Copies of this chain bind each other. A is one copy, B any other.
Amino acid sequence: MSHIHDECGVFGIFANSKQDVASTAYYALFALQHRGQESAGIVVNDDGVFRTHKDVGLVNDVFSQEAMSRLGVGNMAVGHVRYSTTGTGLRENAQPIVVNHLKGNLALAHNGNLVNAYELRSELENSGSIFHTTSDSEVISYIITKERVRRRSIEEAVLAAMDRLQGAYSIVVMSPSKLIAARDPNGFRPLCFGIRDDGAYVVASESCALDAIGATYVREVEPGEMLTISADGVTSDISHCGIAKKTLCVFEFLYIARPDSVIGGKSVHEARRQAGKFLAEQYKIDADIVVGVPDSGIDAAFGYAEASGIPYGIGFIKNKYIGRTFIAPGQAAREDRVRIKLNVLTSAIKGKRVVLVDDSIVRGTTCQRIVKLLRDAGAKEVHMLSSAPPFLNPCYYGTDIDSRDNLIACHHSVDEIAKIIGADSLGYLDVNKVEWLTGEGTGFCKACFDGNYPTDLPTVTDKSRFERWERPISANPKFQNKEKKQ
């Protein structure tokens, strides 16, 4: 029932006429699917009437033709895709959250993780509030609603709520007549703003969603900024800007975001390519071919090849039907999931000395299997490179970085890890290079690598908070074996 961290995608559109905003949101969420595969939801605003559809599942499964037609037309919509780190996918936790209220309905979609969620929730519960979910988003909804009843406008309420929220939040709030986008002062999670030819305004977690719906990327919503979109146009409130150091999650560039997205004007693909180039500077390897692990190791491998002069090659073919929750039949535990997903191009690998580039190493088990695949295909040498530095610390800002227990780099030296995964050598990106990935020497949160957390830490973790509510009888087989980093 609980979840520790959300890694989510949000979207909002404000059109200047009643139209099929649900389909637009659908395509945007489909483009953001990589940010969350557990649940999806859309709320359409039809002259103040909110129609919602949300459920557990992929965008394509959740939104049937019938569901789309029931959402109908409107001039605004918000959407959300959600990922949770636990096995249980609760329908109740699906977003956006909708609040029916005398002062006006409100729909909220949120990406991030508060560090003071426990305190805020306790305070609310102690004043008699009842919660239906275990998500931070419901806490934020409450805080905004509490403020709403004593403020003149929804904007004022959101600003007042921002005074109380600590941690990571990129939120989209829809009221009967306004669409509001706001980002925490650190700017942990991305949130960008765009415009479509027909004048519709859109906000989304990543620019790839804008591309998918034919909108043009304008700029990021700034850390601490609140954008209000209404019939009167777009206004910006920057009263919370600058009150904290900008610390965008660097793992967005290294892993989370789609390579075709642009964050803060920087291409994610180029940042990963740059990581590969940095690796080539750090690790000069005598090899015949550079291959990347699909999909997220490809860009860095490309960069490594460019900088090193060693030819880039296609080393793996990925089963293109695996990109969704994959239910492995019961008895087949001995079947190797990595082998199901990836196959080696033997003709390209046989007899070669291979530089193998992946985006990161968490537990090491997947790396181990991939190295073995290359060995089985006849690779003479396998040199493993990770385009992220070693993970040494948990994340409290909405990324699913495992607790230290599961982080192989917390328990083993680089040489030990190389041995464990079966590589001839192993290299990680230098943590000091990380901030130069996009050409700028500042502005990232890289606490998972160096432990420098830019905020206070939670006093109580979500896990312990919600433990008392949980005693799973049996994990729901529908949500087992979901594709996740290992």
Residue numbers in B under 8 Å from A362 (CB-CB): none
Any chain B CB within 8 A of the CB of A430?
no
Choose one: B49, B72, B324, B346; the contact of A469 (CB below 8 Å). Answer: B49
Choose one: B33, B59, B142, B260; the contact of A317 (CB below 8 Å). Answer: B260
Bound-state CA distance A101–B465 (Å) is 11
Any chain B CB within 8 A of the CB of A307?
no
Q: Name which residue of chain B comes closest to A51, CB basis.
A: B473
Choose one: B30, B102, B213, B345; the contact of A267 (CB below 8 Å). Answer: B345
Any chain B CB within 8 A of the CB of A302?
yes
- The answer to whether A129 and B145 have CB atoms under 8 Å apart is yes
On whether A327 and B64 interact (CB within 8 A), knowing A145-B130, A335-B213, the answer reads yes
- The answer to whether A327 and B60 have CB atoms under 8 Å apart is yes
- The answer to whether A320 and B102 have CB atoms under 8 Å apart is no
- The answer to whether B343 and A208 have CB atoms under 8 Å apart is yes
Choose one: B132, B267, B345; the contact of A347 (CB below 8 Å). Answer: B267
Any chain B CB within 8 A of the CB of A126?
yes
Q: Which one of A21-29, A164-172, A221-229, A240-248 is at the interface?
A: A21-29
Bound-state CA distance A344–B331 (Å) is 41
- The answer to whether A314 and B142 have CB atoms under 8 Å apart is no
- The answer to whether B211 and A343 have CB atoms under 8 Å apart is yes
- The answer to whether B149 and A125 have CB atoms under 8 Å apart is yes
- The answer to whether B64 and A212 have CB atoms under 8 Å apart is no
Residue numbers in B under 8 Å from A381 (CB-CB): none
> Which A312-340 residues have a C-beta within 8 angstroms of B?
312, 314, 316-317, 319-324, 326-327, 329-332, 335-336, 339-340
Any chain B CB within 8 A of the CB of A189?
no
On whether A63 and B329 interact (CB within 8 A), knowing A70-B476, A101-B125, the answer reads yes
Any chain B CB within 8 A of the CB of A468?
yes
Residue numbers in B under 8 Å from A147 (CB-CB): 128
- Measured CB to CB, the closest approach of chain B to A481, in angstroms, equals 10
- Measured CB to CB, the closest approach of chain B to A353, in angstroms, equals 19
Choose one: B132, B141, B329, B346; the contact of A65 (CB below 8 Å). Answer: B329
Any chain B CB within 8 A of the CB of A31?
yes
- The answer to whether A127 and B142 have CB atoms under 8 Å apart is no
Residue numbers in B under 8 Å from A103 (CB-CB): 125
- The answer to whether A314 and B298 have CB atoms under 8 Å apart is yes
- Measured CB to CB, the closest approach of chain B to A149, in angstroms, equals 5
- Measured CB to CB, the closest approach of chain B to A152, in angstroms, equals 15
Chain A, interface size: which category?
Answer: 35 or more
Bound-state CA distance A146–B258 (Å) is 45
On whether A329 and B68 interact (CB within 8 A), knowing A51-B473, A319-B31, the answer reads yes
Bound-state CA distance A470–B47 (Å) is 11
Choose one: B125, B332, B344; the contact of A260 (CB below 8 Å). Answer: B344
- The answer to whether A324 and B327 have CB atoms under 8 Å apart is no
- The answer to whether B149 and A23 have CB atoms under 8 Å apart is no
Any chain B CB within 8 A of the CB of A269?
yes
Any chain B CB within 8 A of the CB of A354?
no
Bound-state CA distance A50–B469 (Å) is 7
Residue numbers in B under 8 Å from A122 (CB-CB): 102
| A interface residues with partner B (beta carbon < 8 Å) | 20, 22-24, 26-27, 30-31, 33-34, 46-51, 58-60, 63-65, 68-72, 91, 98-103, 105, 122, 125-132, 134, 138, 141-142, 145-149, 208, 211-214, 258-260, 262, 267, 269-270, 295, 298-299, 302, 312, 314, 316-317, 319-324, 326-327, 329-332, 335-336, 339-340, 343-348, 468-471, 473-474, 476-477
Q: Beyond A30-B319, A49-B468, A103-B125, list 17 extra A-B contacts (CB 8 Å).
A: A20-B331, A27-B332, A30-B340, A51-B473, A70-B474, A70-B476, A100-B132, A101-B125, A101-B131, A102-B126, A130-B141, A208-B343, A212-B343, A260-B345, A267-B347, A269-B347, A270-B347
> 27 pairs across A/B with beta carbons < 8 Å?
A20-B329, A23-B332, A27-B332, A31-B340, A49-B469, A49-B471, A50-B469, A63-B329, A99-B131, A100-B132, A100-B469, A105-B469, A128-B148, A128-B149, A129-B145, A130-B141, A130-B142, A130-B145, A213-B335, A258-B317, A259-B317, A259-B345, A260-B343, A262-B346, A262-B347, A312-B312, A321-B323
